Amino acid sequence: MKNLFKITFAVCAMFVLVAFTKYQKRIFATPVSSIQQLEMEPINIIPESKTIISDTDTRIFLYKIGFKESGNRYDIVNRYGYMGKYQFGKKTLEGLGYKVSKEEFLNNPVLQEEAMVALLKHNKKNLKRFIEKYDGEVIHNVYVTESGILAAAHLAGPGNVKKFFRKGKDFKDGLGTTMTSYMFLFAGYKLDI
């Protein structure tokens, strides 16, 4: 058992080193002033409501996932039709109760932020049992945290996250991004949602 742990640790350490080297320019390219601004004051992401994200980790998580998805651009649509800062599909929006046109969604940053918080809450509720069971564990050679699970669910959907835990099956989107890469990249944030 000790040897298995040492091997797993060594593999994880190598993966971290490779991933850090590969992604450091893209993931850690955030200007210091942007991070400092995120840390300075709470952001009311939905001015018309009382949803306020005051937790620094949550705001940085949203900033980083938005950067990974779209470069934090609200007006972008990829070749598969996914829209906005967080690259939402029409079906996901409808499933959350948003019946808006593509134009309405792309032109409304407040709505996009609200939809992302709603999706995170929905996925957290849907994956609660898995989060409680696996948070802080290494499963199928992946270090698992709540924020990593929620990022993976954003990319692949909660059903694919469940398949990963049950069968070790990874998901890859149309651009070749794996669900487990999101578990890794977005691990360790303490989310206030």
Please tell me whether residue 191 adopts helix, strand or coil conformation.
coil
Residue 5 has a pLDDT of 53
- The answer, yes or no, to whether residue 8 has pLDDT greater than 80, is no
Residue 185 has a pLDDT of 95
Residue 2 has a pLDDT of 57
Choose the most confident range, by mean pLDDT, from 2-11, 38-47, 91-100.
91-100
Residue 161 has a pLDDT of 97
Mean of pLDDT values over 156-185: 95
Q: Percentage of residues in the chain with pLDDT exceeding 90?
A: 68
Q: What is the DSSP letter of 127?
A: T
Q: Which residue has the higher pLDDT, 46 or 89?
A: 89
Domains of the chain by start residue, with CATH:
32-185 (1.10.530)
Compute the C-alpha angle 116/69/107, nearest 5°. 60
Residue 20 has a pLDDT of 44
Nearest to 163 by CA among 138, 140, 135: 140
Q: 145-165, pLDDT tens digit by residue?
A: 999 999 999 999 999 999 999
- The answer, yes or no, to whether residue 48 has pLDDT greater than 90, is no
Mean of pLDDT values over 97-115: 97
Q: Output the average pLDDT for the chain.
A: 82
147: enclosing H helix or E strand: helix 146-156
Residue 116 has a pLDDT of 97
Residue 3 has a pLDDT of 60
Q: 49-101, pLDDT tens digit by residue?
A: 444 455 688 999 999 999 999 999 999 999 999 999 999 999 999 999 999 99
Residue 7 has a pLDDT of 56
Residue 54 has a pLDDT of 53
Total Cβ atoms within 10 A of residue 29? 10
pLDDT band at 125 (very low <50, low <70, confident <90, very high): very high
